[in-house]
Structure 1
Amino acid sequence: MHRRLTVRDLRAGNRARVLRALYFDQPRSRQELAGATGLSQASVSNVVAELIADGVVVEAGQVDSDGGRPRVLLRVDPAHAAVVGVDVGETHVLVEVFDLTLQRLAEATFPMEPDVHSVDDVARRVLEGLDRCLAASGVGDVLGVGIGVPGQVERGRVYAQTVGWHGVALEQLLRTGTDLPLFLDNGANTLGQAEVWFGAGRGTGDAVVALIGSGVGASVITGGVLYRGSSGGAGEWGHTTVALDGRPCRCGAHGCLEAYIGASAVVDRYRAVKSDVPAEQEAALAALVADGSRAARDVLAETARYAGLGIANLINLFNPSQVILGGWAGLLLGARILDDVRAQASRHALHRPFEQASITLCELGPESVALGAATLPVAEFLAAGGVRHRTPSPVV
């Protein structure tokens, strides 16, 4: 049986509708919010009064109306609370503090060796970055800490085969140093949410946001909702097979897409044909992109060929309106080879779905995994109409 909605449920739903409409398009007047939400002006006025009383919404000046009194504009108060976003990447841990409207207040970066990920070291860096950034920003009230990680998250445990994590209790380790609400998700998913909220995918109902860093992943948005699969493991695009019995992948299989377009794989190919390549991975990839030699062009052409094949597979599987390429390596490579990637995708994708899909670069830059992670506590806050329900829970 369906539970009958109460007046309290309806009021909470109205708060969520108004707050979400204001958050993504502000400042707005009460009249504009009524039009955007479909609620009566009386309902909007009641909700806005509650949100102002709770300190979530503030007035933001006035705008002239046609023949009537000036309309008061409203906005979400950036200072109502802060949020934290963390990117547990394969070459660094990045911690950033944002205000409620996701303007950056402070950040701290901790370099890490690729493929060397002690979960204890990661937890220590996250907690150190959290302490450092909260002190630097001077914020007191924090909604929560969003954390983008490599691999799949189940009940606070992380399964990231490529870095040797199988059910590591990252959330439990972080609990030793903070009692703030924690939100863990795959880094490709947090990147995807950032781009759909604020970047190239804004307003898109069906898109795939593809992340290329040291590893490779994807966030699949269908009908405006992130597709997670049965246990949250969907989107492992990097471990789709593109060459039977092909190159060895870090996951232990052979022929994975990651073994051809992941930054580690591309840099290894470059080092095989070029001497004096920088030791640091990001510097090495930047050198490849800037290198005009025939050897470098061959490496980039092969990378474009496999990236285009992988994107064609995404187009054939999901029929998205957009494929958005991001991640620090994806943005570096995309600046040089995006046209070639599109051409290769057109060779392998079905004609009609390819015609309907744009292939573009992310707009939010290489640090958008952390920004996307910060949207996790904000999303819960908006869905609850600005009411906080979450308290730290024991990790099983």
Structure 2
Amino acid sequence: MNQADCQFEIVSNEDDLRALEHEWDDLWSRAHGQYGQSFSVCWLAWQHVAKPRGRRLCCIVHRENGRVAMVWPLVTYRRLLWTYLCPLSPEAGDYTRVLMADSPNSSALIAGAWRTALTRCGADFIKLPYVDEGSDLHAVASRERHVMIAARTVAAFAKLRDETEWDAFCKTLGTMSGKKPGALERRLSKEGQLAVRVTEPGDARENAVLVDWILARKRAWGDRVGKRGEWLDSSHYRDFLVNLLCPANGRAMGRLFVVTLDGAPVAATVVGVGTTCVDGLIASFDDRYARFGPGSIVVEHVIKWAFEQRLNVDFGVGAERFKAYWSRNNITGAWSAQIANSRWGVFAFRSKKTVRAAARRMARLSGVSGGQRRGASAFVPDNHDNPDSVRGLDLPMNPS
């Protein structure tokens, strides 16, 4: 291990991770961190998702003059004979980002953290969901020799912090499906007593009920459109969302917005709140009211709330029309990848491709449809050889 590698510490113990809280919070504030980069959110992800699923901590930390200057929270897990390294997160299609303040040495530090991940975490595969295209992390990871899977999608980001007047901002948007902001809400209000509100962070019962409501309708929507990520059925992810809204320490990093008609929910969304930005996490609506656009109504209120708080809005990945509309077509790229990091990993991936190719040939020769392909994919631990399976974790917000 050379001197540069010694500058990076790997935290693999829960108590040591907890001991970083105050330094982590300080860095998060200095770096204008996003919701998912905060210690509170990462700790919840560890306690309610990663730890119950048997993950192991592998958090990379860099210090400068004794002060924490970089944190990259990662975990490893075993699947059959292979070890995977992935971000510490709720595992629901979240971004992969390294927390650090802007510095002339940023590129070198990212390169050092990446080298540490490759050489000291013992992984056969490295999984990177949704890395910001053009970032230092994207640059260093995309240069790897054994990038086995690479898939690009788009994301939208609404820059609101420099706006000063809501009505003036809305005028710059034009219309979406022929409707201006506020029109759908006025239309739905004719059907009954309409209310839009943010739930109280301390109301654990209501927040839990509404989280269950969102997940149930999101599962039904996923079945209809063929985008059913496993996290939708995960009790771990459900518990993460509930605790995000009602944390034990009283510092809620999430907010839940709900639209009700005559007291019953018709749309709701959970968002994460960072230092300068609101992140869309998950949303759904009652399909019986789809023609009124209740999902669009709740999103509009999230954006207006963020506007009033002087926060930007990150809509997450996905090319839905409403994201381009509210972001005024401020569209960026996000890159997901799986990288083989050992000879054993390369062998496994190539063997899987060979088996699947053979299965396709056999299917063609026998006249059988491609339905047999799934059986062949069990050779390698994770079924992520198809870029679409990576993108299948998208749509953190899906209004009508």
Q: Shorter-chain TM-score: which interval?
A: under 0.3
TM-score w.r.t. the length of structure 2 is 0.24
TM-score w.r.t. the length of structure 1 is 0.24
Higher relative contact order (CA 8 A, sep 6+): 2
